[in-house]
């Protein structure tokens, strides 16, 4: 790849939840490469992504099938601007859930048009996988991963027993599982609505889980748990039907599914498929990167969710890591000095 590489830098890309009305507008207005990315992505799915990103309304932007392509195009636009203006090329890329697609576009594995079509389909499939109101998610804080796993197992068992007693005929399996291992002491759980409620009750009533607390999340579906199997199956069909095969990455990335560095093109689609109904190993991914030669991380796209999580993980690991965010022209301007520091 032409341009000056920054092998000590990690480029990260946010997932669903970081979206905000107005995202990407400044980049679009100030950089031709950003306009090209927005136009190419919009043309790929015949949707005006500019209007959704810049004007909303929020109710439309937060629909999963809209959120995913909008976050993808905004994050990739920010990265491409840095690439063109600053000759930027990181040592590695990583993305949280949907952000993994952005990371793969950034490292050359996927084309923006292909990725946009795929995440649009991914968002729709994830929304269809579970009937509205039948699934939920919650962020559990203050407990080790193994204890959260026991919490989920016990809640699943109790929810299943309740259904038997009540003679429930719900088409959705009674289950709750870890969905996102985000940082030390922060795990998001997902599953059937009754399964998640049981987990929240256990946090208050069972001494085994004392010290933990949870915050229910306002989400449209229980992502990254086994209830997403229909969405995974749909993505398998999408990948099987495509003539496009991922390119060899220009620089490595860390898949959510494994939490380990890879540069293989042949594993990309399989890992994206499995990612849908398996937990996001974000904490494990960052910890793996902290063992490498990286001392800076940049979040491309709206918000600062990932840099916040990375800071917590690095602190826990006693590592010094400089952090930056790029979502507009001011971020691009400050990035130059950040990279040279």
Cα distance between residue 196 and residue 176, in whole Å: 6
H/E segment holding residue 7: strand 6-13
Report pLDDT digits (tens) over 119-154: 999 999 999 999 988 999 999 999 999 999 999 999
CATH placement of domain 6-128+227-340: 3.40.366.10
Query: How does pLDDT run across 224-278, given as a tens digit for each residue?
Result: 999 999 999 999 999 999 888 999 999 999 999 999 999 999 999 999 999 999 9
Give me the architecture of the 141-219 domain, per CATH.
Answer: 2-Layer Sandwich (3.30)
Q: What is the pLDDT of residue 253?
A: 97
Q: Do domains 6-128+227-340 and 141-219 have the same CATH topology?
A: no
Q: Quick one: which of 80, 72, 168, 58 has its CA closest to 114? A: 72
Q: So what's the pLDDT on residue 3?
A: 46
CA atoms within 13 A on the CB side of 132: 3
Question: What residue spans define the domains of the chain?
Answer: 6-128+227-340, 141-219
Report yes or no on whether pTM surpasses 0.75. yes
User: 75, 224, 285, 327: which is the annotated catalytic residue?
Assistant: 224
Cα separation values, 178 from 111, 122, 140, 279, 294, Å: 31, 20, 9, 6, 28
97 is catalytic: yes
pLDDT higher than 70, residue 4? no
Side-chain-side CA neighbours of 235 within 13 Å: the count stands at 27
**Bridge partners, 322 (sequence order):** 296
Please state, rounded to an integer, the average pLDDT across all residues of the chain.
95
Whether 1 shows a pLDDT value over 50: the answer reads: no
Q: Which of 97, 102, 192, 220 is an active site residue?
A: 97
Q: pLDDT tens digits for 12-61?
A: 999 999 999 999 999 999 999 999 999 999 999 999 999 999 999 999 99
d(CA 290, CA 35): 34
Percent of the chain with pLDDT over 90: 92
224 is catalytic: yes
- Reference 188, options 68, 310, 302, 283; nearest CA is 283
Q: In the predicted model, what is the mean pLDDT of residues 85-98? A: 96
Tens digit of each residue's pLDDT (9 = 90 or more) over 200-223: 999 999 999 988 999 999 888 999
């Amino acid at each position: 790849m032409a341009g000056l590489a920054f092998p000590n830098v990690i480029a990260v890309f946010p997932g669903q939840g970081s979206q905000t009305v107005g995202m990407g507008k400044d980049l679009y207005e100030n950089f031709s490469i950003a306009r090209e990315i927005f136009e190419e992505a919009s043309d790929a799915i015949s949707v005006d992504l500019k209007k959704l990103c810049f004007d909303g309304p929020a109710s439309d932007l937060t629909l999963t099938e809209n959120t995913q392509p909008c976050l993808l195009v905004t994050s990739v636009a920010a990265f491409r601007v840095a690439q063109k203006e600053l000759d930027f090329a990181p040592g590695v890329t990583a993305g949280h859930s949907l952000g993994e697609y952005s990371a793969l576009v950034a490292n050359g594995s996927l084309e923006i048009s292909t990725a946009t079509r795929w995440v649009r389909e991914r968002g729709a499939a994830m929304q269809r996988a579970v009937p509205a109101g039948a699934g939920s998610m919650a962020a559990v804080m203050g407990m080790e991963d193994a204890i959260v796993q026991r919490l989920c197992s016990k809640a699943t068992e109790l929810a299943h027993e309740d259904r038997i007693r009540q003679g429930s005929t719900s088409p959705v399996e009674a289950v709750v599982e870890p969905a996102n291992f985000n940082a030390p002491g922060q795990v998001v759980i997902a599953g059937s609505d009754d399964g998640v409620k049981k987990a929240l009750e256990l946090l208050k009533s069972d001494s085994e889980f004392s010290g933990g607390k949870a915050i229910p999340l306002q989400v449209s579906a229980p992502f990254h748990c086994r209830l997403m199997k229909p969405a995974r199956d749909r993505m398998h069909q999408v990948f099987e039907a495509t003539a496009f095969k991922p390119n060899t990455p220009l620089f490595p990335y860390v898949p959510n599914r494994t939490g380990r560095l890879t540069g293989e093109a042949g594993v990309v689609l399989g890992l994206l498929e499995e990612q849908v109904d398996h937990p996001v190993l974000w904490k494990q991914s960052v910890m793996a990167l902290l063992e490498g030669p990286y001392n800076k991380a940049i979040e491309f796209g709206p918000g600062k969710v990932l840099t916040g999580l990375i800071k917590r993980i690095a602190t826990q690991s006693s590592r010094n890591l400089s952090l930056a965010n790029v979502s507009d022209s001011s971020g691009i301007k400050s990035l130059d000095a950040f990279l040279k520091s």
